[in-house]
Amino acid sequence: MLSKRNFITYAIAFVFILLLNFLLPRMMPGDPLTAIYGDEALIAMTPQLKAQLVERFALDQPLWQQFGAYFLALFQGQLGHSYYFNASVLSVILGRLPWTLLLVGTSLVLSTMLGIILGIESGWRRGSKTDRAMLAGLMSLNGFPDFFLGMLLLIAFGVTWGIFPLAGALTPYSGLSGLALLFDVLRHLFLPVAALTLAHLAGSYLLTRNTMITVLKEPYMLTARAKGLSQRVLKYRHAGRNSMLPVVTQTGIWTGRVVTGALFVELVFAYPGVGYLTYEALLARDYPIIQGVFLMVAISVLVANFLIDLSYPKLDPRVSYAY
Amino acid sequence: MHIDLKKEIKESGPGKTGLFILLLMVAMALLAPVIAPYNPYQQSTASLLPPSLSHWLGTNHVGQDIWSRLVFGARTSLLVGFGVGILSTLLGTIFGVSAALVGGFYEKVLMRIVDAFIVIPMVIVVILISAYIRPSILTLILLLSLLSWQGGARIMRAQALSLKERGNVTAAKSFGASRFYIAWRHVVPDLGPILLVDFIYGVRRAVFMEAGLAFLGISDPTVVSWGMMMRDALSFSYLNVWQWWLVPTGVALSLTIIGLTFVGHAAEPVIEPRLRGVEIA
Amino acid sequence: MLEIKDLRVSYGQDVVLNGIDLELESGETLAIVGESGTGKTTLGLSIMRLVEGTVRGSIRFNGKDLLLLTDSEMQQIRWSQIAMAFQNANNVLNPVYTVLDQTMEPMIEHGLKSRGEARDRAAELLRYFGFPQNRFSAYPHQLSGGEQQRVLLAMALTNDPELLILDEPLSSLDAATRAGVGNLLKEIDKHCTKLVATHDLDTASKLADRMAVLYGGKIIELGPTQEVLSRPRHPYTRALIRAYPNMTMVKDLQGIKGRMTRPASGCPFHSRCTQAIDICQTKTPQLVWNEGRQIACHRGGIITLLSTRNLTKSFGSLKAVDSVNLHIEAGETLALVGQTGSGKTTLAKTIMGLHQPNEGGVYLEDAKVDNRGKDFYKRVQMVFQNPGESLSHRLSVMEAVMEPLDIQGVGTKEERENKAIQVLGEVELPQTGDFLNKYPHHLSGGEMQRVAIARALVLDPALLIADEPTAFLDASVQAKILKLLLNLQEQRGLSMLYITHDVAAARKVSDRIAVMLDGKIIEEGLSNEIIAAPKQSYTKSLLSAASALHPTEYSSIEQ
């Protein structure tokens, strides 16, 4: 039985993230403004701007007041300003976010669902050649880091056979619209999604398979067989439905993995999402962006986990949380 | 309770394969100076050469011998992997067992913190920190360990809780044994198999992470790493060089991880009946 | 409509069903009775072809052999033609679907009804079994045992099966609920043939027309339920009924010696059977027809040990024993009840050969006994009323108990001594040297009677005639002696002719009662029937005059 994560846990995690974000630049040697904005940015600033920022962030004040200012700014949606992109951090991130959501969302759904189906089929045929082959195959697949898979797919389908485009989310300057636009997006999306999905398939597969093996031994499976139900109904409605439950609880954690995996995959395919943004920011040492991304991603994952935790009782009638 | 871990692994097909792969990698790492014909850092003008007798896997964009770099890269991966594995399992055991045996407020607080860390995606935190401080290998090991002991702690605590209720512990307590003594003599030894499995999966996670961080370009640049090699190879995917540059490196990395996966999977049935429903990896 | 021939089911090395032959007519209810582990559930599962092990033999349902059908053909038959209500246990219902959903499911999946129709029918069935409407959306883990049982029953009927297999349908219910649900089961469509697997004899008696007793993987008795229950013909069936607490039987409970084993050859019951002979160990008996029912026993069922035909003994013009026809079966106790002077003791003595009959004869296992030799006394022994008299004051305990062995010249002296000591242990007397050397006048009344019983047992007789064995003993001692006799019967399979004037005591130890008056047997039958519904007025007055704690008036005995 997984221990129930309650609100306090998430609160602690949230505070940790904020603190980390806050403390890191201020713990670096040297001028805090440099640490927050980075060398290059400072060169571009005027002394007045610098003074303004010092005041805004209360950099000459004691630490706890600084944190107050920081938190306040955050609350107002102020994530800082990126000098590399010459725009507010928030706007830059929001501009890239949709692509990442598309990538992560599609991959997460595909890998989880496909993993569940394969896990059900594998567990149903436990010990057979099909099962053992799938098990060995998926465990091996699991060993390939997502960026390696991405690179292999890119080289195979992009470079060598030229079926799919090599980079980006859209064909630039194409001026497409409607169905043609959709098709273009999908063409660009295919390989990155494939890489991410394949890399994270094994998680849901293994868990579903294991649970399936246990479920098949339960008395209610015999009852269901006695009812003369078809194989399909037995596999999915009876066994499958029960095997899915642990998968749902783990989906929150997997979301975190897929999100970080997207980071690498976007890099490989130069897919213009938040992950690629991070890479660019790392190269340019654009700390505001890095911090902004970190904050957004970390908190999104927390929220996703929280929501999934809340929805679990709806799926398993035996469970009810105190809150 | 006397489940023979060695037997479990030896009897499983994938387990044996995994063990074999791992031993191969370890051998490669240990014998690196012997089997690498070149200094992995030595640059030359002979760049992007295809495989030949003098350069088994050809050379990279700055003329370094790929085979030598591959072989030395194993050292980095395994060093970080095992380092983090040991340290995080150690921390997880210490905190998990102490939480179970001490209980009370200490346990409550500790477990809340543990749960909080489990929910946070570790990779992003490491990326953030690495962006500020370029970690050396040692720092990286420390950092990764500090962020990954939590998973094991939960499992250790669960197991320690059930172990502490057993008769031999009660007997020891009646002799006036201290909690430390009980932990050391009665609880930890029975945790053996679980410790090992936690360790194996910890190594796997760390190898993965080190490669990923190197791929992003934010790990120790003074060290040869498979991740870094793959990063360099990425820019040249348009050329044929990927065949002998990217693929062997990627395969080496993947094989190492697969090997760890197989061994871990073979060892899992040992603990599964005792810990139903708790995910380890 | 269901015909099972030589069904054998095994899981690896374990043979669960070892050759079952059964026939079911359309519309009837057959109970399969057996204790746990005998294979009742396996039998039900085999008919549904849900058994994991190896299945051999044939199961013909409406002419088709079910074991030869393909999986998909069988799948169509399941629930639509043959349905099963499983034993109520944890997790027998799928935990993630509501009660109503699961009940509706088989109708929809077999294409019999639309969703709306299925819902209505499911609701109707659930209500029929008393499952409350407001609980239809409950999940299995929220149900009580009784509620879950009702769901299982309702669910089994959804597709109107021709054959319904019920596995312990009432076991998890309390007595009051049992009656309600039991009635509902009886009322179900008469065209529905039912097979009820249960260990509970009450369920079998109320629900089933016929009953089959399962032991060691074989059916050992099969016949009309009421007849089998009142007059069991197989030693196991009789023992099972004796061990089952119920309001009908008056005799004290008795167990069965030994444990259930599944021997590789021979009759599965032979190690616990008290009338087993050599062949029982080597050859498996087949189920054959015998007087209206089927029995699997090499001896044709419980044998008649001793019988008298027209036995008459007169002293001058007085007929002390007047044309008495009695029989005593192996392993049973017949109580001979009558007042002083009715001729009971004379009858006993005539049987023992201490008097010569004027007419008629005594038959031991259907062979007429004329001259009683040592062999006869090896099989029939007697315990007399007054142990103070029947035990010689010259002989020590050891000598007295050994006496029959000495007379018959059985074994060496040492063997006889060991036998005597063993038998003293059986009657719960000390086996120490001190005790063995005691003389009767050193012993209490109870101890003396035990010595007398031990003496009677030392030749391992099949029939023990006990003539008022507790007449000279205190009540608490009497209780112990009676219990001792019951235990000896359980362990050795002793038959007993228990002679007494005390109806209340007779009631506790006897399977059958014969009432004797003026040398004649005026009424005879099963103990519980005689006690509950005596026919003769003399019997009635005997009963009302018997010791009772509540009526405060005496009643008189008519002659």
Say if CB B157 and CB A51 are below 8 A apart: no
Q: Least CB-CB distance to A227: which of C90, C95, C106?
A: C106
pLDDT band at residue A110 under the 50/70/90 scheme: very high
CB contact under 8 A, B255 and A143: yes
Angle at C332 between CA C538 and CA C389, to 5 degrees: 75
Largest CA distance in chain B: 74
pLDDT band at residue A38 under the 50/70/90 scheme: low
Q: How far apart are CA B124 and CA A114, in angstroms?
A: 26
Beta-carbon contacts of A273 under 8 Å, excluding residues fewer than 6 positions away, are A96, A97, A99, A100, A102, A103, A169, A262, A266
pLDDT the model gives residue A4: 53
| Residue A275 confidence (pLDDT) above 60 | yes
Give the per-residue SS3 of C173-212.
CCHHHHHHHHHHHHHCCCCCEEEEEECCHHHHHHHCCEEE
Domain ranges of chain A: 95-285
Sign of the CA dihedral with A33 first, then A35, A40, and A41 last: negative
Q: How far apart are CA C541 and CA C543, in angstroms?
A: 5
Rg of chain C on CA atoms, in Å: 28
CB contact under 8 A, A144 and B257: yes
Q: Which of residues 211-240 of B touch A (CB under 8 A)?
A: 211-212, 215-218, 230, 233-234, 237-238
Segment among A119-123, B97-101, B153-157, B182-186 with least mean pLDDT: B182-186
Q: C546 burial class (0-12, 13-18, 19+ CB within 10 angstroms)?
A: middle
Mutate to test the interface with A, among C42, C84, C94 (most CBs of A within 10 A): C94
Sign of the CA dihedral with B135 first, then B137, B139, and B143 last: positive
pLDDT band at residue C555 under the 50/70/90 scheme: confident
Q: Mean pLDDT score of chain B, rounded to an integer? A: 82
CB atoms within 10 A of CB C374: 12
pLDDT band at residue C188 under the 50/70/90 scheme: confident
Q: How far apart are CA B89 and CA C168, in angstroms?
A: 52
| Residue B4 confidence (pLDDT) above 70 | no
Q: Mean pLDDT score of chain A, rounded to an integer? A: 82
- Mark out the alpha helices in C215-312 (DSSP H runs): 225-230, 235-242, 278-282
Question: Nearest residue on chain A to B248, judged by CA atoms?
Answer: A148
Give the residue from A177, A178, A192, A45 showing the smallest Cα distance to A110.
A192
Strand C318-329 and strand C380-383: the pairing is unpaired
| Residue C559 confidence (pLDDT) above 60 | no
Say if CB C219 and CB C17 are below 8 A apart: no
Q: Across residues B178-206, what is the average pLDDT?
A: 82
pLDDT the model gives residue C31: 92
> Can you point out the beta strands (E) in chain A?
81-82, 87-88
Count Cα neighbours of A282 within 13 Å in the Cβ-side half-sphere: 26
pLDDT the model gives residue A104: 92
CB contact under 8 A, C78 and A228: yes
CB contact under 8 A, B242 and A28: no
CB contact under 8 A, A227 and C141: no
Six-digit token string for C170: 């009432």
Cβ contacts of B208 on chain A, cutoff 8 Å: 145
pLDDT band at residue B10 under the 50/70/90 scheme: low
Six-digit token string for B63: 């003329």
CB contact under 8 A, B111 and A259: no
pLDDT the model gives residue B280: 40
Six-digit token string for C138: 């409950």
Q: How far apart are CA B214 and CA B230, in angstroms?
A: 9
Six-digit token string for C59: 């199961």
Strand C29-33 and strand C54-61: the pairing is unpaired
Give the residue from B154, C142, B274, B277 showing the smallest Cα distance to A319.
C142
C359-364 β-sheet, strand order = C318-329, C304-315, C359-364, C367-369
Give the per-residue SS3 of B159-214.
HHHHHHCCHHHHHHHHCCCCHHHHHHHHHHHHHHHHHHHHHHHHHHHHHHHHHHHH
C216: left (phi over 0), alpha (psi -120 to 50) or beta: left
CB contact under 8 A, A9 and B265: no
pLDDT band at residue A288 under the 50/70/90 scheme: confident
Count Cα neighbours of A240 within 13 Å in the Cβ-side half-sphere: 18
| Residue B277 confidence (pLDDT) above 50 | no
What is the pTM (predicted TM-score) of this model?
0.76
Domains and CATH numbers, chain B: 5-37+56-275 (1.10.3720.10)
Six-digit token string for A203: 């998680």
pLDDT in tens, C410-461: 888 888 888 999 999 888 898 888 888 888 888 888 889 999 999 999 888 9
H-run or E-run covering B70: helix B66-102
Question: Nearest residue on chain A to C156, judged by CA atoms?
Answer: A227
What is the DSSP-derived secondary structure letter of residue B59? Answer: B
pLDDT in tens, C335-347: 999 888 888 889 9
Beta-carbon contacts of C397 under 8 Å, excluding residues fewer than 6 positions away, are C424, C429, C435, C436, C437, C438, C439, C440, C443, C451
Terminal Cα-to-Cα distance of chain A (whole angstroms): 18
Helix, strand, coil in percent for chain C, rounding step 5: 35, 25, 40
Distance of CA B100 to the CA centre of its chain: 25
| Residue C25 confidence (pLDDT) above 90 | no
| Residue A2 confidence (pLDDT) above 50 | no
Q: Least CB-CB distance to C93: which of A223, A230, A318?
A: A223
Beta-carbon contacts of A278 under 8 Å, excluding residues fewer than 6 positions away, are A263, A289, A290, A293, B127
pLDDT in tens, A198-256: 999 998 898 899 889 888 888 899 999 988 888 888 888 898 888 888 888 788 778 88
Question: Nearest residue on chain A to C108, judged by CA atoms?
Answer: A229
Q: How far apart are CA C204 and CA C178, in angstroms?
A: 13
pLDDT the model gives residue C165: 92
Q: How far apart are CA A73 and CA A79, in angstroms?
A: 7
Q: C448 burial class (0-12, 13-18, 19+ CB within 10 angstroms)?
A: buried
What is the DSSP-derived secondary structure letter of residue C78? Answer: B
Q: Least CB-CB distance to A226: which of C78, C90, C94?
A: C78
Give the residue from C51, C49, C44 showing the smallest Cα distance to C10.
C51
Shortest alpha-carbon distance between residue B132 and chain A (Å): 7
Domains and CATH numbers, chain C: 26-56+68-81+161-295 (3.40.50.300), 304-544 (3.40.50.300)
Distance (Å) of CA A262 to CA A102, A145, A255, A273, C534 = 11, 12, 10, 9, 92
Q: ipTM beyond 0.90? A: no
CB atoms within 10 A of CB A71: 12
pLDDT the model gives residue B9: 62
Q: How far apart are CA C368 and CA C307, in angstroms?
A: 9
Q: Least CB-CB distance to C75: which of A218, A228, A242?
A: A228
| Residue A171 confidence (pLDDT) above 70 | yes
pLDDT the model gives residue B240: 77
Largest CA distance in chain C: 92
Mutate to test the interface with B, among A131, A148, A307 (most CBs of B within 10 A): A148
Cβ contacts of A219 on chain C, cutoff 8 Å: 86, 89-92
Q: Least CB-CB distance to A148: which of B123, B218, B253?
A: B253
Give the residue from C252, C192, C247, C239 showing the smallest Cα distance to C213.
C239
Strand C2-11 and strand C54-61: the pairing is antiparallel
Beta-carbon contacts of C345 under 8 Å, excluding residues fewer than 6 positions away, are C467, C499
pLDDT band at residue A1 under the 50/70/90 scheme: very low
Cβ contacts of A225 on chain C, cutoff 8 Å: 50, 78
Say if CB B192 and CB B175 are below 8 A apart: no
| Residue B270 confidence (pLDDT) above 80 | no
Cβ contacts of A282 on chain B, cutoff 8 Å: 127, 131, 216-218
Six-digit token string for C115: 């969703």
More confident residue, A305 or B280: A305
CB contact under 8 A, B125 and A21: no
pLDDT the model gives residue A302: 84
CB contact under 8 A, A155 and B258: no
Helix, strand, coil in percent for chain A, rounding step 5: 75, 0, 25
Query: Does B have 3 or more CB contacts under 8 Å with C?
Result: no
Say if CB A204 and CB A119 are below 8 A apart: yes
pLDDT in tens, B89-145: 999 988 988 888 888 888 888 888 888 888 888 888 888 888 888 788 888 899 999
Beta-carbon contacts of A271 under 8 Å, excluding residues fewer than 6 positions away, are A99, A103, A167, A168, A169, A188, A192, A265
pLDDT in tens, C478-513: 888 889 999 988 888 889 999 998 898 899 999 999
CB contact under 8 A, B120 and A301: yes
Count Cα neighbours of A148 within 13 Å in the Cβ-side half-sphere: 29
- Name the CATH topology of A95-285: MetI-like fold (1.10.3720)
pLDDT band at residue B275 under the 50/70/90 scheme: very low
| Residue A135 confidence (pLDDT) above 80 | yes
| Residue B281 confidence (pLDDT) above 50 | no
Query: Does C have 3 or more CB contacts under 8 Å with A?
Result: yes
Amino acid at A241: R
Shortest alpha-carbon distance between residue C148 and chain A (Å): 13
pLDDT the model gives residue B272: 53
